[in-house]
Amino acid sequence: MKIFKRQQSKNQRRQKAPPVFIPWRFGVICACVALAMLALVGRAAYIQVLEPGKLIQEGDMRSLRVKAMPSARGMISDRNGESLAVSVPVQAVWADPVQIFKNGGLEQQDRWYALADVLGLERRQLLSRIEKNKQRRFIYLQRQVSPAMAAYVSKLKLPGVGLKDESRRFYPAGEVSAHLVGVTGIDSHGLEGVERTYDGWLTGEPGRRTVRKDRYGRVVENISLKQREPGKPLTLSIDQRLQAVAYRAVKQAVADYRATSATIVMVDVRTGEIMAMVNAPSYNPNNRDQLQSFRMRNRAITDAMEPGSTIKPFVVLAAMENGVADEDTIIDTGNGIMQVGGSRVRDVSKVGKANLARILQKSSNIGVSKLSLAMPVDAVLGMYSSVGLGDASGINLIGEAQGFFPDRRRWSDFERATLAFGYGISVTPIQLARAYATLGAVGVNRPLSILKTEQVVPGRQVASVENTRKLLSMLEMVTGKDGSAKRAAVPGYRVGAKTGTAKKAAAGGYSDEYVAMTAGLAPISNPRIAMVVVVNEPQGDKYYGGAIAAPIFSEVMESALQILNVPPDAGTNEKLNIVHNRGNTHAGT
């Protein structure tokens, strides 16, 4: 019992003993707490003072939203203000797959099937696409849908499906001006024609609205607003009335002659403005199913060809400019066959002895060959180049070809002879139109323009006024009753024109296909319009320029002169009659 009490007494003394204070342990604990506090303060200072950007960025990624406000693309119109390309408001249908599967996924299949049907999509394909992109926050379901379709999609109230404002390009002229105006892609950037060349001018600056949203998507702060700037409008030089007339003619020519293509280029002689530029076959830029390369190619600027006899007036002009011949010079073309080296130059019909006017009137290959052989080759090529052949036309459309001019150290006589009637070089229809516009401007060569010009671009005098006027008079005789281009004549107007027929080049020589051409001016008394007509690979027995291209030239030129209210100038002056009679007299001797 005593032992138990002593033990109990010891336990009581132990419980009453004061706690032992250990200084070093207390110091360690305080140091750890202080270090932890310093570390937290240092980290907070580092984050907020030295490197605050990262957390701000993380916060902004979760709360800031930028809404783009697309701007309208600039309108394209013709010289009279007729709309050729306008932007119309449309919408895009998009989906947020993450949000979709947070709200039941694709369970309501009837509504999803309705969405696929209105968008013109295959039902299973739509659902499969959403399934495959479960982790994505944004995918397009359909771009550029009509307002009616957008309203239907909105009424479906599918979670995770929304609408976005867009604009779509609409072309009121359709296929008539498609090659010239061009077309835009799904993102409203130009792909072809004027739309592509002047994309920077036509494209505006989109607006941007920056807001801060909370976790429920509510706007809690407006950060900034950048106003949108619409694209600038563009006025082209073409006259849509002339475009329609010319396009109807080339489309009919392709059908009538089963041709591969046909082209017309019309130029205002006074200013160098393109009044019309059409090709067939064409395409409807409002229908993306027709965007095929062979339809979309603007053949007036991309397709080079050997110009054939349409080049002969410039050989005659070069001869007069270089003092080799004048309007009274007589050239003996013999019996219609001329031996040049180991080859022969032939005329379609015998011309005999004739002056320059008669040479052009009957389109004598031998006559112009003799003129070419009497001059240095540089004189002929120099004239071709000075009137714009082989050079950029000046319209600046992307895709324009330069043609082909041979650069040889030595020329055979036969090569120099064929150079005079359009073989051995290649030019585009627009270059040929520029050359004839130079003749119409009495020897002034100015760059062409696809934009309406406020002031006439000054040109360069490349041939004397006197010789050019003489040549214009000779060209008028070509459309007379005895001329090779008589079917290019226009009732009531004095017209000068030259037809041409060229075989198409092929690997190792020439093929059996032809290009029929007619180039000319009207009215000769005061030239207003220069025009080139090209029919590529006509089928059948008719393939000459005088039989195919000349009637088209006459039809379109007559309509153009009437639309532009150009007064008639019918009648041939006395001087022309004298020249004509003199040519016939010499031809018979």
Q: Using CA atoms, how far apart are residues 105 and 159, in angstroms rounded to an integer?
A: 9
Helices 312-321/365-373 angle, 10° precision: 40
Backbone angles phi, psi at 472, to 5 degrees: -60, -40
| Distance between CA atoms of residues 265 and 247, nearest Å | 10
- Report d(CA 219, CA 438) in Å as an integer: 65
309 given a catalytic annotation: yes
Helices 109-119 and 147-156: crossing angle in degrees, nearest 10, is 170
By three-state DSSP, how is residue 401 classified?
coil
Please name the residue that has the structure tokens 């950048």: 226
On the CB side of 354, how many CA atoms lie within 13 Å of its CA? 27
3-state helix, strand, coil in the chain (%, to 5): 40, 25, 35
DSSP 248-312: HHHHHHHHHHT-SEEEEEEEETTT-BEEEEEEES---TT-GGG--HHHH--HHHH--B--GGGGH
Of 55, 29, 28, nearest to 43 by C-alpha is 55
| CB burial string 57-71: b at 16+ within 10 A, e below | eeeeeeeeeeeeebb
How far is 300 from 303, CA to CA, in rounded Å? 6
Reported residue count of the chain is 589
Closest CA to 186 of 140, 221, 217: 140
Distance of alpha carbon 482 from the chain centroid = 41
CA distance 428 to 434: 10
Give the integer Cα–Cα distance in Å for 243 and 286: 18
Distance CA 565, CA 108 (A): 66
Of 71, 237, 309, 484, catalytic: 309
* Dist. CA 281–CA 271, nearest whole Å: 29
Compute how many other C-beta atoms are within 10 angstroms of the C-beta atom of residue 370. Answer: 23
Q: What is the C-alpha to C-alpha distance for residues 194 and 183, in angstroms, rounded to an integer?
A: 8
In DSSP terms, which residues pair with 170 in a beta bridge? 86
Q: Which residues are catalytic?
A: 309
